[in-house]
Amino acid sequence: MEAVQTEIRPHSRKVVDGRSRWARRHRTLLSVLTGELAKIRKLGPRDAIVLRNICGLLISAERQEAAMLAGEPFDPEQHVRSINAANRLATALGLRNANTAPQGASLPEILAHGAPRADAS
Closest CA to 57 of 78, 36, 77, 34: 78
As a whole number, the mean pLDDT across the chain is 78
Distance CA 95, CA 40 (A): 8
pTM for the predicted model, two decimal places: 0.63
Question: CA dihedral in degrees (58, 64, 67, 68; nearest 10)?
Answer: -120
Domain ranges of the chain: 18-99
pLDDT in tens, 53-72: 999 999 999 999 999 999 99
* Phi/psi of residue 57, nearest 5 degrees: -65, -40
- Tell me, rounded to whole angstroms, the distance of Cα 9 from its chain centroid: 30
pLDDT at 19: 75
Distance CA 91, CA 33 (A): 12
